[in-house]
């Protein structure tokens, strides 16, 4: 079965929902570790001959243009993680629209390729901010990968479908590729990204993938460059956030190496039957997705 390997391209201080998170105006003054960590990921992917989807922050892309082009030229899909890593419920519809529109244009200008996919900061879409999907489609994205079908600090989308589905927005259909969840006795369990991946033993991850594939769902791995960096500076977070953000950082690399060796990955746009073109006017729309479900 085809799966997707995704990376949210941001730096060590892009952690949400904490008073310790530095304000945007301070970002330029902080040490940048994203290039070193991203190069490590690019080397791993190259060795494994895997093409991935990189959800870049526009702000990071603007400051690392040649690395962004390198990433795109290596055959990886360049998608958007917004410009300033904003949460829709914190900034409201108007500023959110400006932010994700700016990110799309920035990444397209630098790479010369159309940006089809979007993932919001912190999987931060909830039932109360479902207007976010209308804006994502309105500014020109064709798919979204922001839904975490469960309970989280800044969202709650538990009732959402766990597989790829279609969301009907005000301006047309938007493909949704949610985080992969394994269902066990009615419970949804998560092993395949971020702190869940770092906390879960490899055997549990292997078991989860088997169950996921038996149910007919692709594996969607998500990771941040900082999760390969045990030596990153630590933000003064609350004890529980410190645990979530920094636990088992040394385990990320061997787990990713195993995943890249054992599973077949394609960029998310290919998983969703979309074609990314250098010519921004050409696009094949996947109106006949398998297991198509209309959510709204």
Give the nearest distance from C-beta 153 to Zn ion in angstroms: 13
Which listed range, 8-16, 60-68, 185-193, 262-270, lies at the site for Zn ion (CB under 5 A)?
8-16
Give the nearest distance from C-beta 60 to Zn ion in angstroms: 10
Tokens 């040649």 found at: 66
Give the nearest distance from C-beta 7 to Zn ion in angstroms: 10
Q: How many residues does the chain have?
A: 296
Give the nearest distance from C-beta 73 to Zn ion in angstroms: 24
Task: For strands 151-152 and 143-144, give the pairing.
Answer: unpaired
Near Zn ion in 108-167, by CB under 5 A? 121
Beta carbon nearer to Zn ion, 110 or 121: 121
Closest CA to 154 of 89, 238, 92, 95: 89
Beta carbon nearer to Zn ion, 87 or 162: 87
Beta carbon nearer to Zn ion, 64 or 209: 64
Helix H or strand E encompassing 7:
strand 2-9
Give the nearest distance from C-beta 83 to Zn ion in angstroms: 12
Give the nearest distance from C-beta 87 to Zn ion in angstroms: 10
Closest CA to 237 of 38, 13, 3: 13
Task: For strands 155-156 and 151-152, give the pairing.
Answer: antiparallel
Which listed range, 2-10, 110-118, 182-190, 215-223, lies at the site for Zn ion (CB under 5 A)?
2-10
Among 3, 6, 7, 8, binds Zn ion (CB under 5 A): 8
Residues 91, 226: Cα–Cα separation, whole Å: 25
Q: Does 227 bind Zn ion (CB under 5 A)?
A: no
Q: Kindly write out the interface string for residues 10-49 of this chain, putting x where it contacts Zn ion by CB under 5 A and - elsewhere.
A: x---------------------------------------
Beta carbon nearer to Zn ion, 124 or 173: 124
Q: Applying CB under 5 A, what is the total number of residues that bind Zn ion?
A: 3
Q: 189 with 243: CB under 8 angstroms?
A: no
Beta carbon nearer to Zn ion, 85 or 137: 85
Beta carbon nearer to Zn ion, 12 or 217: 12
Residues 138, 4: Cα–Cα separation, whole Å: 25
Give the nearest distance from C-beta 122 to Zn ion in angstroms: 6
Dihedral (CA of 225, 229, 232, 236) sign: positive
Give the nearest distance from C-beta 81 to Zn ion in angstroms: 6
Tokens 């005000």 found at: 170
Task: For strands 172-176 and 165-169, give the pairing.
Answer: antiparallel
Residues 50, 5: Cα–Cα separation, whole Å: 9
Beta carbon nearer to Zn ion, 10 or 176: 10
User: 16 by DSSP, 3-state: which?
Assistant: coil
Q: 173 with 166: CB under 8 angstroms?
A: yes
Which chain residues interact with Zn ion by CB under 5 A?
A: 8, 10, 121
């Amino acid at each position: 079965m085809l799966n997707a390997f995704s990376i949210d391209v941001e730096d060590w201080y892009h952690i949400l929902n904490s008073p310790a998170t530095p304000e945007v105006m301070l970002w330029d003054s902080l040490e940048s570790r994203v290039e070193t960590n991203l190069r490590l990921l690019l080397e791993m992917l190259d060795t494994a001959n895997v093409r991935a989807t990189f959800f870049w922050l526009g702000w990071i892309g603007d400051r690392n243009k040649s690395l962004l082009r390198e990433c795109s030229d290596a055959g990886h899909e360049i998608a958007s993680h917004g410009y300033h890593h904003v949460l829709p419920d914190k900034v409201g519809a108007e500023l959110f629209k400006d932010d994700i529109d700016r990110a799309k244009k920035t990444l397209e200008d630098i790479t010369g390729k159309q940006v089809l996919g979007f993932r919001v900061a912190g999987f931060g879409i909830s039932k109360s901010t479902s207007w976010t999907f209308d804006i994502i489609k309105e500014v020109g994205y064709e798919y979204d990968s922001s839904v975490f079908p469960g309970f989280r600090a800044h969202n709650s989308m538990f009732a959402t479908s766990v597989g790829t589905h279609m969301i009907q927005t005000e301006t047309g259909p938007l493909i949704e590729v949610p985080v992969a969840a394994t269902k066990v006795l009615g419970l949804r369990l998560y092993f395949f990204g971020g702190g869940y991946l770092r906390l879960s033993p490899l055997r549990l991850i292997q078991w989860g993938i088997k169950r996921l594939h038996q149910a007919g769902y692709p594996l969607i791995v998500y990771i941040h460059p900082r999760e390969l960096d045990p030596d990153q500076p630590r933000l003064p977070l609350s004890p529980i956030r410190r645990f979530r953000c920094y636990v088992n950082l040394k385990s990320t690399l061997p787990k990713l190496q195993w995943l890249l060796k054992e599973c077949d990955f394609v960029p998310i746009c290919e998983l969703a039957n979309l074609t990314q073109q250098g010519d921004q006017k050409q696009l094949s729309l996947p109106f006949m997705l398998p297991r198509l479900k209309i959510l709204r």
